[in-house]
Amino acid sequence: MKIAVCIKRVPDTELRFTIAADGQSLDSTGMKYEISTFDEYAVEAALRLNEAHGPGEVTVVGLGPAALGEQLRRAMSMGADRAIHLTADEVPFDGAAIAHALADALEGQSYDLILFGRNATDTGNGVVGPMVAHQLNLPCVTGISHLEIGAGQGTAKRVLEGAVETVTFPLPAVLTIDEGLGRPRIPSLKGIMGAKKKPLAESPAELGPVRVSVTALAPPPDRPPGRIVGQGADAVPELVRLLRDEAKVLS
């Protein structure tokens, strides 16, 4: 199968960070970046599909600054065959603007599947995938945690609140990938060496109009300092009293 996976360069989610003096962005000192969590799951899913279904090709597509090359290479060291880098010095927050550029680059390339993450870990939006699907007029299934592909058709499971839904869809299709399809592999040394020789094509991103922007960025509200009520089971009556009389969550 010919599969495209859209991957985003995002700040490492394990890191603590501070907000820059402009109050609109992150302080980039000491910042590390990674492939957005669900996008890495999507790369893994694409690789497994082709391992199961015989020869195919996995293309990773990213939109971002020059340094995004690092994440594209990492995906190729995991096993992706080639990469497309849509260059943009600034990546807008607006998912529609990004979707426009990705859809442009994906159009007419006859991919059987186009995979996205459930959401990017920086924006937390989950809008780019379905918007690309709309622009390319392809069926779209979001938040997939299980996937099987057979003759021209796929079966996927989505975890909803309190239920699991099974759907079938025709190929080509756009899918957004949740956890559950298999943990991303760690690139081998051979993979890392091989990735250096794989093709990486660059072209400027044709972003759509930007109509959603971040006007302020703040740390989450501080939680009032908590308190250790006590040690062991003896502390339970006091905890329950606090929950009832102070926090008022028991009435």
Partner 1 sequence: MTSILVFAETRENRLRQVAFEAITAARTAVDAAGGGEVHAMVAGSVGVGSVASDLGRYGADVALILEDAALERYNAEAVAATVAAQITAGGHRAALFSSSAEGRDIAPRVAGILGAPIAADVTAFTLDGDAITAVHPVYTGKAIATLRLEGTPAVLSQRPGAVSAVEAPRETTVESVRPAIDPASARVVVTQLGAAVGGTLDLGEAPVIVAGGRGLREAANFALVEALADAFGGTAAVGATRAVTDDGWRDPSVQIGQTGRLVSPDLYIAVGISGAIQHLAGMRTSKVIVAINRDKDAPIFTVADYGIVGDLFEVVPKLTEEIKAAVDHRPS
Ligand X SMILES: Nc1ncnc2c1ncn2[C@@H]1O[C@H](COP(=O)(O)O)[C@@H](O)[C@H]1O
Contact positions with partner 1 (CB under 8 A) in 111-170: 119, 121-131, 133-135, 139-143, 145, 155, 158-170
Task: Kindly tell me which residue out of 58, 98, 173, 181 binds ligand X, with binding defined by CB under 6 A.
Answer: 98
Angle at 133 between CA 37 and CA 116, to 5 degrees: 10
Site for ligand X in 122-141 (CB under 6 A): 123, 125-129
Q: Rule CB under 6 A: is residue 39 a binding residue for ligand X?
A: yes
Tokens standing for residue 240:
């329950």
DSSP labels, 187-203:
PPHHHHHHHTTS-EEEE
Q: How far is the CB of 127 from partner 1 (least distance, A)?
A: 4
Give the CA radius of gyration of the chain.
Answer: 22
Q: Rule CB under 8 A: is residue 31 a binding residue for partner 1?
A: no
User: CB of 35 within 8 A of CB of 71?
Assistant: yes
Quick one: 1 or 88, whose CB is closer to ligand X? 88
Quick one: 63 or 138, whose CB is closer to ligand X? 63
Q: How far is the CB of 114 from partner 1 (least distance, A)?
A: 14
Q: Rule CB under 8 A: is residue 26 a binding residue for partner 1?
A: yes
146: which residues sit within 8 A by CB, 6+ positions away? 156, 157, 180, 181
CA distance 24 to 21: 8
Site for partner 1 in 190-229 (CB under 8 A): 211-221, 223-224, 226-229
